């Protein structure tokens, strides 16, 4: 007999997944972490391995999985442009075949299921800030499409399983999230800038650096995910989860230089194709439905992230 909820976290050995697994264990759940270690690592969850309620399984979600669970958080998917463009066909398969497999599992086990979707479903948005009822402005055939369209198709599958099979689904649209355990070489802006600053290298601004992003600290994001999962069946989302504080990429670079005390210079590199010009979540829906809003200021979250990368460099 199972008293503690049995929770599957796909992509659980990744950056966000590792914090989510820890949070669910703290709340007393049994956690099954499934990952193919494409971008995630065993090291990310090494601190959880001694917990008897934690289990780690190597598995690729593009193949079916037969386990018994009460809840599923579907996070499996590389998130950084460098990694998701490395093998774009596999990226689409991970989102689409992965969604079909975990939805099938949820249908058989009657589990609640949450999809880690993304602000990328809005593409290069024409409305600002982005609300959930905006359908997006996405290139279907560009280098980012494997990720954007894969995630859009996964949302479609979640809502069709919900309508067709009456399943309890939750769709979170996650905006740029950062924190310790980001992969140091994943090419995302926060990890890139901090690693460049700590090594005394030039900081690479793509384009003019005036494009904006809104950065959410990982603890805040994980809290939003758990609150969304714990809502009743009437709450399906999609719900934006992100920090509405909006910064230009140049402002981020200057803050990283200040916090690290680095002597790095800002240098300009070409802007990648289809790079969104602006991004800021409207979180009215999350505030209302989840009583949630981020609490960690960018400066404070960045400081924790800088400290993590300093330790990583010292240990190397
Ligand atoms: P991450 O790359 O650190 O984590 C993804 C995890 O999924 C990794 O552990 C990876 O090994 C695993 N994975 C990839 N393909 C898999 C497969 N086929 N089978 C099993 N496991 C697989 O990235 P993250 O930042 O932790 O992102 C987690 C989720 O959140 C992703 O779905 C991502 O799209 C979504 N998301 C993240 C952000 C962000 O800013 N971090 C923003 C929007 C959405
Ligand atoms: N960026 C940058 N320099 C870098 C890495 C990224 O200027 O070294 C920019 C990138 O062009 C984008 C923003 O930072 O405008 C965020 O990039 P990231 O890859 O972190 O995520 P995205 O939000 O684009 O998926």
Q: What span, in angstroms and rounded, lies between the C-alpha atoms of 150 and 170? A: 17
Structure tokens at 108: 């058989």
Identify the pLDDT of residue 316.
82
Question: What is the residue-wise DSSP string for 101-150?
Answer: HHHHHHHHHT-EEEEEEEGGGGBS-SSSSB-TT---B--SSSTTHHHHHH
φ, ψ of residue 73 in degrees (nearest 5):
-105, 115
Q: Which atom of ligand 1 is nearest to the CA of 94?
A: 18
213 lines ligand 2 (CB under 6 A): yes
Beta bridge partners of 73: 9, 114
Cα 290 to middle of ligand 2, angstroms: 29
245-262 burial string, b = 16+ CB within 10 Å, else e?
Answer: ebbbbbebbebbbebbeb
- Read off the tokens for 254: 């200057």
Residues 6+ apart with CB under 8 A from 282: 129, 130, 131, 132, 240, 244
Half-sphere exposure of 138 (CA within 13 A, CB side): 21
Would you name the residues annotated as active-site residues? 147
Establish whether residue 183 lines the binding site of ligand 2, counting it when its CB lies within 6 angstroms of any ligand atom. Answer: no
Q: How far is the CA of 38 from the centre of ligand 1 (A)?
A: 9
Closest ligand, as measured to the CA of 14: 1
Closest ligand 1 atom, residue 76 Cα: 7
Ligand 1 site, CB within 6 A = 10-11, 13-17, 35-40, 60-62, 75-79, 94, 98, 116, 118, 174, 176-177
- Cβ-count burial of 127 within 10 angstroms (0-12 exposed, 13-18 middle, 19+ buried)? middle
Q: How far apart are CA 150 and CA 147, in angstroms?
A: 5
Q: Is the dihedral of CA 260, 266, 271, 276 positive or negative?
A: positive
Q: Which residues 6+ apart lie within 8 Å of 135 measured at CB?
A: none
CATH number of 6-178+218-243+280-295, picked from 2.60.40.1930, 3.40.50.720, 3.40.190.10, 3.40.50.1010: 3.40.50.720
> How far apart are the C-alpha atoms of 138 and 225, rounded to whole Å?
25
**Measured from the CA of 209, which atom of ligand 2 is nearest?**
7
Question: How many angstroms from the chain centroid is the CA of residue 2?
Answer: 29
pLDDT value for 75: 98
Helix (H, G, I), strand (E, B) or coil at 287: helix
Structure tokens at 15: 């950056």
Question: What are the residue boundaries of the structural domains of the chain, listed by start?
Answer: 6-178+218-243+280-295
User: Strand, coil or helix: what is 241?
Assistant: strand
Rg (CA), the chain: 19
Task: Give distance in angstroms: CA of 261 to centre of ligand 1.
Answer: 31
Strand, helix or coil at 206? strand
How does DSSP assign 48-88, residue by residue? GTT-TTEEEEE--TTS------SEEEE--S--SHHHHTTSH
Q: Which two tokens stand for residue 222?
A: 């994980």
Q: Which ligand is nearest to the CA of 271?
A: 2
Expressed in angstroms and rounded, the spacing between residue 235 Cα and the centre of ligand 2 is: 32
Question: What's the CA-to-centroid distance between 72 and ligand 1, angstroms?
Answer: 15
| DSSP-assigned states of every residue in 163-177 | HHH---EEEEEE--E
Query: Residue 212: helix, strand or coil by DSSP?
Result: strand
Q: Which ligand is nearest to the CA of 21?
A: 1
- pLDDT digits 0-9 by tens, 197-254: 999 999 999 999 999 999 999 999 999 999 999 999 999 999 999 999 999 999 999 9
* Residue 204 Cβ < 6 Å to ligand 2: yes
State the sign of the Cα–Cα–Cα–Cα dihedral 11, 14, 15, 19: positive
Q: Helix or strand or coil: residue 246? A: strand
Nearest ligand to the C-alpha of residue 241? 1
Q: Is 192 close to ligand 2, i.e. is its CB under 6 Å away?
A: yes
Give the residue ranges of the chain where pLDDT is below 50: none
| Substitution candidate for ligand 1 out of 23, 76, 152 with most atoms within 8 A of CB | 76
Nearest atom, ligand 1, residue 61 CA = 19
How far is the centre of ligand 2, averaged over its atoms, from the C-alpha of 211 (Å)? 9
121-152 pLDDT, tens per residue? Answer: 999 999 999 999 999 999 999 999 999 999 99
């Amino acid at each position: 007999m199972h008293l503690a909820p049995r929770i599957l976290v796909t992509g659980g050995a990744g950056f966000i997944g590792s914090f989510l697994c820890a949070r669910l264990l703290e709340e007393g759940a049994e956690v099954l972490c499934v990952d193919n270690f494409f971008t995630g690592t065993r090291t990310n969850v090494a601190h959880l391995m001694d917990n008897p309620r934690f289990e780690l399984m190597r598995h690729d979600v593009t193949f079916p999985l037969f386990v018994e669970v009460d809840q599923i958080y579907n996070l499996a998917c590389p998130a950084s442009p460098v990694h998701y463009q490395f093998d774009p066909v596999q990226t689409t398969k991970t989102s689409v075949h992965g969604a079909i497999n975990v939805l099938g599992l949820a249908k058989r086990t009657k589990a609640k299921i949450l999809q880690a979707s993304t602000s990328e479903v809005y593409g290069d948005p024409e409305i600002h800030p982005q609300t959930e009822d905006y359908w997006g402005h996405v290139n279907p055939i560009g280098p980012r499409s494997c990720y954007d369209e894969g995630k859009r198709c996964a949302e479609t599958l979640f809502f069709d399983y919900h309508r067709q099979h009456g399943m309890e689904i939750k769709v979170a649209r996650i905006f740029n999230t950062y924190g310790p355990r980001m992969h140091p070489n994943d090419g995302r802006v926060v990890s890139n800038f901090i690693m460049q600053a700590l090594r005394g290298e030039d900081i690479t601004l793509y384009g003019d650096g005036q494009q904006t992003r809104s950065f959410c600290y990982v603890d805040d994001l994980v809290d939003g995910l758990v609150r969304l999962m714990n809502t009743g069946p009437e709450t399906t989302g999609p719900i934006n989860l992100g920090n509405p504080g909006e910064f230009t990429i140049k402002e981020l670079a200057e803050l990283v230089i200040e916090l690290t005390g680095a002597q790095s210079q800002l240098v300009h590199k070409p802007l990648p194709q289809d790079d969104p010009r602006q991004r800021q979540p409207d979180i009215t829906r999350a505030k209302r439905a989840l009583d949630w809003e981020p609490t960690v200021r960018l400066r404070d979250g960045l400081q924790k992230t800088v400290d993590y990368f300093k330790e990583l460099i010292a240990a190397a």
